[in-house]
Structure 1
């Protein structure tokens, strides 16, 4: 219970600090009292020392629910509340989850607060054992498969928070307005735990992330730090500047740090936000390792920022010969609870985590150049995803695409691509364009145009959903241009 004790000590040290929405707030003193009451409610549902999946949206009760679980010696697993029932059931089975806390009321559960209920899963049978030091789990995005449950020690969780607090100079005077889910690495590592340790105020955004709502909450909360994914900044950048009230412009100008993660901002968005409020700083982290870089001076030098204290990174060739970044941090996870042995296979001889990111490290400055895409192989010919993706993106009207290798019902490998378009794009003309641009074996056999690629809450494309979309084409009636 090292993690709970450290957090409880921090809350006792800052009893009047607050976690808030733009409408109401609770002091850390009140949060601790609430967590004690919730621990008693959990005792009625599941024995202590349980594995508890928390699949909750941001709300004032999130923190007290997490503390209640930790106080009982349970193992919390923080999850995206948008997971489907089938995905949660899979995690329950794979990870041996004893109880689920989510926003779904039911006759078999007990209400913890106005936004969450707890229910026992009744899971039985063998289940994977966590490492002896594991005190909290978080999930990967699940963009390419079902989410992996990453185990973290208390030392790793606290190291991530302390490293970030030091780098960002977070202190009691700060108010962080957070539009990211607290389960996500961006919010968890830069807002939730660091704020508890320093006594800074957390303001949880509410409502839909429209430009108008974002601007209203900035005006109401008057934050010193804004934490959001690129899409939120895109929406604000598109809002008519002349329609922004003077008090909102003043609040925007008063923000000292604007954080973004998961994907780079467009040049246009970055420029408009800089003019409106100030530069957006990029946070680069990986679910398995925690925070890696912080770009204190965005736009200067063209890098993605400096390595954080205690972080080391090099570019080395992996087994397939492609050079990728390898990183060591004090906040690294230890293993995957539901994928035994797989995390360990991603660890180099010196203990570094082998990422899928490509780039360079010069004098502590990291420049990302992309991701090491898997090699496609059709008919014995090997080629890169980018060799198919780039010519698709060059076609007029295409805004993005996702390329995969598929297996036909007869067992034959083929290339498939989902293409995001702005307006109508003639798939037949696109296919003709590709036939002229690349070898015939590279041209996607399954080619589907969509208004928007399926994405997770961070904006990353969900490969699993794209694969299902493309495989669905095999089940369509024969005829027509795919």
Structure 2
């Protein structure tokens, strides 16, 4: 039996009568989850003749059905490809082609542009299965690959990271050991399961120790957060900075946080003032977590100090190394963070050689981030990547700029990061265009090719792109042109 099918199977059997999973519509014990995964595993005839290992993309919001589908795939030896739910049909079609997907599991109202409907997943009917048209190519998977996830590459195309079953299993085991996750914990997860924050901290890790995972979907507004915490009596809170910003703005009742002992933020830097305000409001200190899509979780701080002391001259304090992590970074001065972990990916399926080029002879992966390592404690000082990172998603400015320049009336465009009125990262674009082209047209054009989260929230039509002394676009000048209150 494959590693992950065995690991999940052991958990389901060991904790059979405990609550395993909930969403707004379902409450499942481990025994229930086992039964539903067995029913969903009676795959439709679409699998016949697929040839080799079947590859199934899954694109759906957080739900019990998502987890059931994932477990059913693993049991049947199907390799799941976890696709961001925000990606549009063209982007999903590109992934399906690049990765030679056979099936797509999706919501009923999100039928892919091409394919043949192949039924529903057992007793949980929210998700459908579509058999995709194959063109005869088969991009070879590594023999031990059991799960594939995606990250944004330097060209803007999602890179498909292959993970062995052992790497995913070790991520769960080491996360539980390094964070003190317990069987009586209840995790309220606001991050999408396709994202590393949720996948590594809130799925197999919870099942490994017999904890319960409570999934939610939708924007993490203050009212939404409050309802979920009351419904689940959560002891862990997992989300991106936007969740904590919303909680602070709403001024939630402190009592809904009475049971929360761990709150985790990741995906983008959390402003110190938000961290301090959240702790003052709730009595809960936010634990930093650092991970890279290609390597899994790397650091965690289960006992964060006072908010004012979290960050210092060395940079943002991101906790101590998790078990199974070997890291090199700066000592006296910041340097690029290089890392090897027990949960590291094997390579990019759709970009051969690119992953390997970032791994040195010593097996350490170059993250592109800069930091300082004090003993086993990491301080992040900066990023070498131009990626705009917010809400756990990455936007490549080059990709968005290229889409804008496809419009004949656009003479030039520069895409860059700004801070919105709440202090959160946002995507902005300065565009030089022929007369008559307006912002609504630019936004509509972007939506035809890009996921909604990649569409700039701020546009500014300009006569020319401001440049610095060596002729490159001046980011300071661009940011002065685009104010946080100017939504185009």
TM over 0.5, shorter chain? yes
The alignment status of 1:117 with 2:128, answered yes or no, reads: yes
Partners of 1:200 and 1:83 in 2: CA distance: 31
**Contact residue 222 and residue 254 of structure 1 kept, 8 A:** yes
The alignment status of 1:315 with 2:352, answered yes or no, reads: no
Between Structure 1 and Structure 2, how many residues are aligned? 415
**Contact residue 154 and residue 396 of structure 2 kept, 8 A:** no
Q: 1:451 to 1:172 in 2, by over 3 A?
A: same
The alignment status of 1:324 with 2:336, answered yes or no, reads: yes
- Given candidates 177, 182, 190, the residue that maps to 1:179 is 190
Residue 427 (structure 1) shift:
6.7
The alignment status of 1:29 with 2:24, answered yes or no, reads: no
The alignment status of 1:340 with 2:338, answered yes or no, reads: no
1:70 alignment partner, SS class:
helix
Q: 5+ residue gaps in structure 2?
A: 312-316, 388-394, 422-457
1:60 match: 64
Partners of 1:148 and 1:100 in 2: CA distance: 18
Partners of 1:117 and 1:452 in 2: CA distance: 41
1:254 alignment partner, SS class:
coil
Partners of 1:110 and 1:27 in 2: CA distance: 26
- Given candidates 256, 260, 273, the residue that maps to 1:251 is 256
The alignment status of 1:291 with 2:282, answered yes or no, reads: no
TM-score normalised by L of structure 2:
0.77
- Given candidates 442, 456, 460, the residue that maps to 2:472 is 442
2:271 match: 266
1:78 match: 82
2:454 match: none
Q: 1:273 to 1:430 in 2, by over 3 A?
A: farther
1:7 match: 8
Residue 323 (structure 1) shift:
4.0
Partners of 2:164 and 2:420 in 1: CA distance: 45
2:241 match: 230
2:414 match: 416
1:276 match: 281
More displaced stretch, 133-142 vs 27-36: 133-142
**Contact residue 369 and residue 385 of structure 2 kept, 8 A:** no
- CA offset digits 1:41-85 (Å, max 9, x no partner): x23221373001011111111111111111111111111111111
TM-score normalised by L of structure 1:
0.78
The alignment status of 1:355 with 2:374, answered yes or no, reads: no
Q: 1:146 to 1:402 in 2, by over 3 A?
A: closer
Q: 1:10 to 1:443 in 2, by over 3 A?
A: closer
1:328 alignment partner, SS class:
strand
Q: 5+ residue gaps in structure 1?
A: 375-384, 386-400, 455-468, 470-482
Partners of 2:330 and 2:285 in 1: CA distance: 32
Residue 2 (structure 1) shift:
2.0
2:55 match: 51
Query: What are the residue-to-residue correspondences of 1:183-194 with 2, within 5 Å?
Result: 183-194=194-205
**Contact residue 330 and residue 371 of structure 2 kept, 8 A:** no
Q: 1:422 to 1:61 in 2, by over 3 A?
A: closer
- CA offset digits 1:201-249 (Å, max 9, x no partner): 01112443211111121122110000010001101111135xx3xxxx2
Q: 1:220 to 1:283 in 2, by over 3 A?
A: same
**Contact residue 178 and residue 187 of structure 1 kept, 8 A:** yes
2:158 match: 147
Partners of 1:220 and 1:290 in 2: CA distance: 30
**Contact residue 58 and residue 83 of structure 2 kept, 8 A:** yes
The alignment status of 1:370 with 2:388, answered yes or no, reads: no
